Structure 1
Amino acid sequence: MQVDRDWWRGAVIYQVYPRSFFDSNGDGIGDLPGVTAKMDYIASLNVDAVWLSPFFTSPMKDFGYDVSDYRNVDPIFGTLEDFDQLIAEAHKRGIKIIIDQVLSHTSDQHAWFVESRSSRNNPKADWYVWAEPKPDGTPPNNWLSVFGGSAWAWDSRRRQYYLHNFLTSQPDLNFHHPEVVNQTLSDVEFWLKRGVDGFRLDAINFCYHDKKLRNNPPNEEIAEGSIGVRKENPYAYQSHRHDKTQPENLAFLQKIRALLDKYPGTTTVGEIGDDNSLDTMAAYTANGDKLHMAYSFDFLTEQCNANFLRTTIETIETKLNDGWPCWAIGNHDVSRVATRWSDGSYSRERNLVYMVMLLTLRGSVCIYQGEELGLEEAELAYEDLVDPYGIAFWPEYKGRDGCRTPMPWNMEDNNAGFSESTPWLPVFKGHLAAAVSAQEQDPESMLNAYRSFLAWRRQQEVLLKGEIEFHKSNKSTLLFERSYGNKRMLIALNISDKTVSMKVPAISEAAGEELSIVNADWSGSKVELPPYGIGLAWL
């Protein structure tokens, strides 16, 4: 059977956060059999792949992004056999499986770190980043953790500091050590042999650090969003020149790509959290020998207006050259887009225009679970929080729990059909009316709009493979063209709550007329868009 090596180009990837998706065994935590049980629902969305957030063995200090065994499933999520069954059921439906790989750091309970911290001369003594204190006992340099405070933690046994870019319980691996690189590649291959179709590489630009441990300079222009970090966090006050995005990382990415090339049809999407994220995306996806695609945090900020959207898209397109973007407007680390990009009120039409924008850009797309339901950010009480990030910065920043609450399956069932037991995070009552059971009965629902638009998009080669070019348009609109071969599609989007009329290139006919969400009025070289209006046409 011939393998489609480029299936990922233009693919739509559905992100599943397993602990909040569906609980199959009634312990209040979603699991891998729960994902398998809902595979028909996922298939009904007309997506191409599922990205599974971490399910590996972990003490769950950062909910799976602190791995203690890269080759096993944590018991709360199931077993390796459950994972194999999930892969089989997904593949049976033509759905690819992409899994999260957290390579830059491990849990402090990983056997490697337990050995590394035991002495200064054990076989894994240099597998992590250890450094002497300054003469006055303070940390080796000024590097800061993403989660606040110093990126260095003191270990009394070795009487040295170890580096942790995230929680103190997440020590950073030392990728300057060749054994670490080789072991990491071996662990990645373990899952390739098990049949996965690709990897989402978490914080992939954090793998290498400056060997000289030089201080970071101050950040002259504090820009929120470089890694989802906000101004109340001191991390934003440094220019992260030496603690991440080091040149050695490029050679490591080439090794990952060479490994994946041995398994045709597999892919990588890298998460880039950097001060210069667009430049880093370009470097990490250039020349076809590193990442297949990458995404940054540029669309995961609070900002949203037509000028910002157009500038970001055009800048990425200009910088990427031969690279391939992967777009996302939501994930498990940021507040839900229905709230983040709103004016404080809910609007189905506004959410639909964001959907169409995301799904008509050049590139691949990640959709976070619940986005297809138009879920808003859940409001939680402080005592309900479990996210260490939110607990540390409350109340200025409420953390990531509001986007991680359980998926509402049935508004009539206990815990919205997510679990028979008390869930690990409370079901948000504001989500009940948006439950899958309610939306499936409504032909005009967000869910059915996603299903029909994704089914239609699959048939449009120009959207899957075509080039993109922006046209001049009103300040509250986006007007761009996708072209492939002799086909040209014009997309007109109104990112405002006012009716807009504007000049456009002459069209040959309207496109997507079978889609109820398309509501533009084309007339010669003009188009009228109602508030949050959507127009598609062939040129």
Structure 2
Amino acid sequence: MMKRLFILILALITLVGCSNKQVVYVEPEVNSVFYEIYVGSFYDSDGDGMGDLKGVRQKLDYIQYDLGATGVWLMPINPSPTYHKYDVMDYKDIDPQYGTLEDFDALVQEMDERGMDLILDLVLNHSSTQHPWFKEAKEALLNDNCDVTETCDYYNFSYEPVIGYHMLYSNVWYEGGFWDQMPDLNLDNESLREEIVDIAQFWLDKGVDGFRLDATTHFYDDSGEKNIEFLRWFYDEIKTINPNAYVVGEAWTGDLIVHDMYRSGIDSFFNFSGSQNSGYIVKALRSQNGERLAEQVETYNTKLKANNPNGIDAVFLSNHDNNRSAGYLVTLEDQKMAANMYLLMPGNVFIYYGEEVALKGSGIDENKRLPIPWNDKGDNMPKGPENADYTQSEYTYVDKALNDNDSLLNHYQKVIQIRHQYPSISRGTIETVDLGDSALYALEHAGEVLVVHNLGEETIEFDLEHKSIVVVYGEASSKDNTVNIKGNSSIVIEK
């Protein structure tokens, strides 16, 4: 009870890391809120125009206290010839633009001391053409030495043209589904699998808490069953090294396939059907149909747990591949309501850096990975991807948002702390509750709390036996067992 009281106090205090306001923090029972960071655009610690690992470490107070996240997902940090770094040249090192292994070790140590989780982007579908494996295989093919060169079988080569393959020599082609500089790996090769386990162990031994797996539906483009088999193998290997490691996969496809992939045992897959401008979160906000949204959330989770009882939904609003949400959620009220909706959903939630200050970006991928505006002076603000061509006309600066009680950033912090107050929101069994109006999203968590959003414009009254209510956003009141909730409001009801 005392812990809940402290967390509630935290939820009601504006946390400002750079101000004189008091910061109160209680470690949540469940680490369920992750912050996705593109390091190159996050925080520049040394003034060279590039975000770096030292910058991430310097902003841990912001991530943990001002925002409230309990974990960080770092997009690829390995050496790479491109800005996005999804074409890896060395799986056991840090890109010099971002820092050193020593910088990484310092980040891991401090996050561990804070009780925060760190997961890394692990790109297993393909490597860079500059990776030593591919260079060695290329040389062996040229000199007809593949019979004694194992790395020739690390990739998929053909002696005749095939769709999705690129010419290496006049009579040799290689598979590269995404780009000719990203040759696909042959994940059937046992020696390569040993390399993958070695890579994973390297980072887990350094204290990493898990991995985000890129492009899991493309491991075997022609066989969903083989994708599941590989993921099951990988997951078992990871759990052998660290039983507590967390693995979340990217499967940007339909729900039927995603739910089937939970048979692999993987902890989570990102919930794309709920995300983006076309997802059911934004659709519900626009249609004002909360009842249907609650049913969709319950159905989605029921189906994933049918294939993996320990599965955890991975909810997000937007990420590095999507147009940023502030571009289509144009009012502060819509941004806050969307935050209420996804940050109080079951499972783990993932916040894309800058979403909490309405950072915008759309079009080419570089535009979706622009620098976060820390202050109006541009201090510690990286230059961002070179080819970006999106310009935001007006920024919400972090330092000013921290001192504005009505800011989206402080709203994120408040909602997240309320989530931390009730662990059953992230991990409890769920069930929809019919409150008699289609505008009301009502989802019960472990029989302990009920999350309610009124997505309509009108005040709604309903009767429900309960102990108390916590107003997340908007206005609501409770007398005896009658609750009144105004339009565009969110509450948590203690049963």
- What is the TM-score of this pair, normalised by structure 1? 0.76
Amino acid at match of 2:194: N
Give structure 1 stretches of 5+ with no counterpart: 1-6, 134-138, 142-150, 210-241, 380-397
Structure 1 counterpart of 2:442, which letter? Answer: L
Residue 165 (structure 1) aligns with: 177
Determine whether 1:127 maps to 2:154. yes
Q: How does 1:440-455 map to 2 (within 5 A)?
A: 440-455=402-417
Cα displacement string for residues 37-65 of structure 1 (whole angstroms, at most 9, x for unaligned residues): 111111212221111111100001x6111
CA change 1:207–1:429 in 2 (3 A) is closer
* 1:475, distance to aligned residue in structure 2 (A): 4.1
| Deviation digits for residues 391-439 of structure 1 (CA, Å, limit 9, x no counterpart) | xxxxxxx22233311011112x1x36414x687458955453x111111
Contact 2:30 2:423 in 1 (8 A): no
* Alpha-carbon distance in structure 2 between the residues aligned to 1:8 and 1:402: 36
Q: State the one-letter code of the partner of 2:220.
A: Y
Matching residue within 406, 414, 419 for 1:457: 419
| Aligned equivalent of 1:385 | none
Change (3 A) 1:349 1:316: same
Q: Which residue of 2 aligns with 1:145?
A: none
- 2:196 match: secondary structure: helix
Q: Deviations over 1:147-199 (max 9, x none)?
A: xxxx3212225x23222221221111011221222211211111011110111
Q: Deviations over 1:220-276 (max 9, x none)?
A: xxxxxxxxxxxxxxxxxxxxxx2xx531222322232223223242211111122x3
Secondary structure of the 2:92 match is strand
2:87 equivalent to 1:87: no
1:18 aligns with 2:45: no
What secondary structure does 2:424 align onto? helix
Match of 1:176 in 2: 188
Match of 1:296 in 2: 271
Distance 1:314 1:171 in 2: 39
Tell me which residue corresponds to 2:258: 281
The equivalent residue for 1:483 is 446
Residues 332-351 of structure 1: per-residue CA shift (max 9 Å, x gap): 110112223x3xxx222221
Q: Hey, what's the Cα distance between the residues in 2 that align with 1:252 and 1:354? A: 35
Distance 1:128 1:39, change over 3 A: same
TM-score by length of 2: 0.83
Aligned counterparts, 1:490-501, within 5 A: 490-496=450-456, 498-501=457-460
Equivalences, count: 445
Write out per-residue CA displacement over residues 474-515 of structure 1, whole angstroms, 9 at most, x where no aligned residue: 44442222225xx2x22221335x22526x4514244224x5
The residue correspondences of 1:119-518 to structure 2 (distance < 5 A) are 119=141, 121=146, 122-133=149-160, 139-141=161-163, 151-156=164-169, 159-209=171-221, 242=222, 246-261=224-239, 262-274=241-253, 276=254, 278-286=255-263, 290-303=265-278, 304-306=282-284, 309-310=293-294, 312-321=296-305, 322=309, 323-340=311-328, 342=329, 346-375=330-359, 377-378=360-361, 398-411=363-376, 413=377, 415=378, 417-419=380-382, 424=386, 425=388, 428-432=391-395, 434-472=396-434, 474-484=437-447, 487=448, 489-496=449-456, 498-501=457-460, 504-513=462-471, 515=472, 517-518=473-474
**1:314–1:291 CA distance, 2 compared to 1 (3 A):** same
Deviation at 1:524, TM superposition (A): 6.9
| Percentage of pairs with the same residue | 30
User: Does structure 2 retain, via aligned residues, the 8 Å contact 1:10–1:464?
Assistant: no
Residues in 1 aligned to 2:293 and 2:380: alpha-carbon distance in whole angstroms: 37
Write out per-residue CA displacement over residues 297-317 of structure 1, whole angstroms, 9 at most, x where no aligned residue.
212332232257445423312
Counterpart-to-counterpart distance in 1, 2:389 and 2:112: 32
- Aligned position for 1:537: 493
Superposed CA RMSD:
2.6
1: distance between equivalents of 2:69 and 2:175? 39
Q: 1:296 to 1:206 in 2, by over 3 A?
A: farther
Counterpart of 2:4 in structure 1 is none
Change (3 A) 1:312 1:400: farther
The 3-state SS of whatever aligns with 1:124 is helix
Q: Is contact 2:41-2:384 (8 Å) kept?
A: no
1:117 match: secondary structure: helix
**Quick check: 1:104–1:203 contact (8 Å CA) kept in 2?**
yes
Q: Distance in 1 between matches of 2:400 and 2:102?
A: 34
1:77 counterpart letter in structure 2: Y
Could you give the per-residue CA deviations for residues 200-221 of structure 1, whole angstroms, max 9, x where no partner exists? 1111222224xxxxxxxxxxxx
Show structure 2 runs of 5+ residues with no match.
Answer: 1-27
> Distance between the aligned counterparts of 2:52 and 2:394, measured in 1?
21
SS at match of 1:450: helix
Q: Given residue 416 of structure 2, which amino acid in structure 1 is its aligned partner? A: L
Contact 1:205 1:272 in 2 (8 A): yes
Aligned residue number for residue 81 of structure 2: 59
SS at match of 2:93: strand
Query: Which one has more relative contact order, counting CA pairs under 8 Å at least 6 apart?
Result: 2
Q: What letter is aligned with 2:235?
A: R
How far apart are residue 530 of structure 1 and its match? 3.5
The 1:378–1:205 alpha-carbon spacing in structure 2 relative to 1, beyond 3 Å, is closer
The answer (yes or no) to whether the contact 1:8–1:267 under 8 Å persists in 2 is no
Question: Hey, which of these two has a bigger chunk of helix by percent?
Answer: 2
Contact 1:405 1:426 in 2 (8 A): no
Residues 31, 70 of structure 2: 8 Å contact kept:
no
CA distance in 2, matches of 1:459, 1:281: 30
